Amino acid sequence: MITDLVSLRQTLRQTGRAYLRRLESEIDEVTAWASEQAKEADLPKARIRDLGDMITLVRKIDAKPLKGRRRDLKKIDATVGDLRELSGSKADR
């Protein structure tokens, strides 16, 4: 039983690290896309609207990181997915 719990803890840590790496990578993709958009001289109105929507999505997240709640992670994950969709990123998750 004890070795199973130790194994479970290791699996949790590995899964958590992989999950965070994936989310951080996706945030990096959106950040790079937004940086490129900021360099554009003539952005279409639709793109400007998308960027505004993205800012709103990010600012709407009301997470309490110190509580370590799954629902906060779900909010962040969903928001990153929405950001990727708005940016046109089609990479597999």
CB-CB contact of 29 with 84 (8 Å): yes
State residue 90's pLDDT score: 52
Torsion, CA 28, CA 34, CA 38, CA 40, rounded to 10? 110
Q: Cα(89)–Cα(54) distance, rounded to whole angstroms?
A: 13
Percent of the chain with pLDDT over 90: 81
Q: Cα(76)–Cα(70) distance, rounded to whole angstroms?
A: 10
pLDDT means per 10 residues, the chain with 93 residues, are 96 97 97 91 89 95 94 96 87 45
